[in-house]
């Protein structure tokens, strides 16, 4: 079980919900916090490593990768395109030259 799934399962097992809060709302809260923490860690790592790009560039990359994941998990727009080529093009297009 992955860390997010374990965290969600633990929260669902030990938490009572008010009339206005459903498990779906809790999932949204936990998922949002997890995504924001990951984003913050990526921005911090990028800066500490001296890599090109600022928080906006990293956010754009996250948006692109999230969309790419959805594309690959459902019906790919370009099924014959190499995933490596797509990621390389995303990086080249989103991050400034070093």
- Do 30 and 3 form a contact (C-beta atoms < 8 A)? no
Contacts by 91-98 with C-beta closer than 8 Å and gap 24+? 91/61, 94/53, 94/57, 94/60, 94/61, 94/64, 95/51, 95/52, 95/53, 95/57, 95/61, 96/52, 96/53, 96/57, 97/52, 98/51, 98/52
User: How many percent of the chain have pLDDT more than 70?
Assistant: 76
Confidence of residue 76 (pLDDT cuts 50, 70, 90): very high
Predicted local confidence at residue 84, as pLDDT:
94
Each residue of 25-69: pLDDT tens digit? 888 889 899 999 999 999 999 999 999 889 998 998 899 989 999
């Amino acid at each position: 079980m992955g860390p997010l799934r374990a965290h969600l399962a633990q929260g669902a097992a030990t938490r009572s919900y008010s009339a206005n809060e459903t498990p779906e709302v809790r999932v949204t809260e936990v998922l949002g916090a997890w995504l924001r923490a990951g984003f913050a860690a990526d921005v911090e790592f990028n800066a500490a490593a001296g890599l090109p790009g600022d928080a906006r560039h990293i956010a754009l990359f996250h948006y692109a990768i999230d969309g790419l994941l959805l594309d690959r998990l459902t019906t790919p727009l370009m099924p014959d395109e190499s995933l490596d080529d797509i990621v390389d093009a995303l990086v080249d297009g989103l991050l400034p030259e070093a």
